[in-house]
Amino acid sequence: MAMTPDELIDTSMMLIVHSGDARAAAFHALQEAKAGNYEEAKKLMAESKKKALEAHHIQTGLLTDEGNGEGPQVNLLLVHAQDHLMTSMLAQELIAELIELHEKKADK
């Protein structure tokens, strides 16, 4: 059964929340790495990945519904939510590389 407009709003907002939490944890991890706190940075990146996974599960549910012919009517909020997810995933990838560089630089 297709989502109601209210369900789509709730789903989109949860996608935004989890993606935002993932992005925030990743940037916090970068700050910790810059301060030389690599273990804390790794914990924060793990937290970031966990939040991103929650967002990814929501996205997968939407894609599954779409594949079953029950996808939601796309609206600007859903597009915005997808944008949040993609930018947080990109931030995670780049921040992981930056943390690695900081750690290697500190070892020299």
Whole-model pTM: value is 0.91
Distance from the first to the final alpha carbon of the chain? 58
Supply the pLDDT for residue 72. Answer: 85
Instruction: Give the span between the Cα atoms of 78 and 93, in whole angstroms.
Output: 23
- What's the one-letter identity of residue 33? A
Residue 2 or 84, more confident:
84
Give tens-digit pLDDT for 6-51. 999 999 999 999 999 999 999 999 999 999 999 999 999 999 999 9
Distance CA 71, CA 59 (A): 11
pLDDT computed for residue 1 by the predictor? 67
> Would you say residue 54 has pLDDT above 90?
yes
Name, in order, each residue with C-beta under 8 angstroms of 9's C-beta and a sequence gap of 6 or more: 77
Q: Indicate which residues carry an active-site annotation.
A: 80
Stated length of the chain:
108
Average pLDDT over residues 64-77: 90
